[in-house]
Structure 1
Amino acid sequence: MKKLILILSLLSVFVIVAYQFKPVKQATNMIVGSIEKTNHINEDSLTIKSRVNIPEGYKRVDYPKGSFEEYLRNYKLKAYGSKIINYDNTDYFWQGGHIGILEIPVPSNGLQQCADALIRIRSEYLWDNNRKDEIGFNFTSGDYCSWDKYADGYRPIINGNKVTFSKSASKNESKANFYNYLNLIYMYAGTLSLYNELPKINDAKQLKLGDMLIKGGSPGHIVMICDEVINDKGEKLFLLFQGNTPAQNVHLVKNLVDTTISPWYKLEKDAVIPVSNYTFYDSKFVRFK
């Protein structure tokens, strides 16, 4: 009898507390609702543009055919469900943050990390579109290293923070030598050099395909905008892809915070923006020249 009375008393207390904290239940329902995923994914599609559906009320921002923006939007993807593979052919430890793997090889040397992957994508575009004279990047020291000079045989002589260039190789404009050049850039450039070198985008309303969310540093991180939609109010949403450390497949990331629009993102300058397994706490944006 005493046990029954105790149980009834506890139930009464629970009912009273539950009633008093009714807003908590409402908040819980909101959280549960936000976890319900909206299906923006076409699993049988093999490009960024066709893999991800446009959210209701939005339309894609148009860009000229042949532009870097259209190049990114139509980048080829591996089959849906493909894993992120590290440079040494091992599985990346976490497979929960992506919805697509880009068809870009990962060198076995381990050099093509987060900034390097985006440098390669930009450089490949310039190469494929006969704009090779525009391929060039600053080292972290601030010294500019162009593909043209490298192809002509000039190589850096690095002494601490001092860099000079000397012609020490024969002229070689081959694609294989181009990848040798990129390996050099991977070694001496990174998020810090890109942040210092590239133009800053101070108004998030001006962001476009190809712009990058960046934290310059050692370590830092960087991701690239690869698709863009806009609604009648002028509000934009973006898709993002990233490389990572260790060197691994470039992948199209989920939005793990707002699953109702995932994989689309809202981007704001100076905001806290979690992207896959990295959080940008003071978001800054840059653009390739």
Structure 2
Amino acid sequence: MLTRVRRQLETAYERHLRRTISGAPTHVAVIQDGNRRYATKQGGEASDGHREGAETTERVLDWCEDIGVEELTLYAFSTENFERPEHEREALFDLLENKLYEFADAERVHDSGVCIRAIGDVAELPARVRKAVDYAEGQTRDYDNFVLNIALAYGGRNELLGAARDVAHEVESGDLSPTDISVETIESRLYDRPLRDVDLIIRTGGDERTSNFLPWHANGNEAAVFFCTPYWPEFSKIDFLRAVRTYESREQSFHQAKVQRAVALVRAIGGVELDEARSIIRKFKEYVPDGVSMDELESEERTTD
């Protein structure tokens, strides 16, 4: 009886959350933490937790598609994971290999146009995993409806260090001028194909840190971050929707802050004519969020007087 009531409440809350969400982040990045702790809690082996976590990953793909997320990056295997016991590493490699082949051949992946890509120092992985990566990327290379990035042998500092070294070598050889170094210069050295800026990072398992994950694309974009206590195998659609709601609330807050800055700018130019004010606002358009008109600024100014 209690279980049924709980399910009914969860279903009602999930519907409520879905109604309160009006949009979706374009790029979500997930730190899938807690697989081993979940397995311990259940009295099983670490590999059991990783297998159940892989099932959660498949559900998250469905949830992303449902609300309109266009890119998902999963932190599947970090450079620190190489320090785990050999039997645990091998079990993880087996799971990654099997899932890469499974995803690459899945009808849902091809029907939905999912492009699978690996990021990280893939060359450090065992040959069988690299072969599975090549297969998955080759099978889905031409798709662009949805991008699934799988971070393997990944470390954010190593990634930035490698890009910096590449740029330094090009400057030293005379192929690149220091004055020509731009954001695009660094991004082109990070990946063969560009990643979108990260809008939302989700971390499960209770730890409140981002673990050096996608520092260029997340920190540079000031991504929203959602920490939650469920272990990755326990991560539910309610948790996912709460994360998206956190992102939306943050975006609305940023929008309001930008409007307030624009209002302050209008007030600062006080007595000038409206046409001149418009001209000045255009010169400082970075202070005004997209889609905000002079009428909205004037309305906001009146309501805050």
TM-score range with shorter-chain normalisation?
Answer: under 0.3
Choose between structure 1 and 2: higher helix proportion: 2
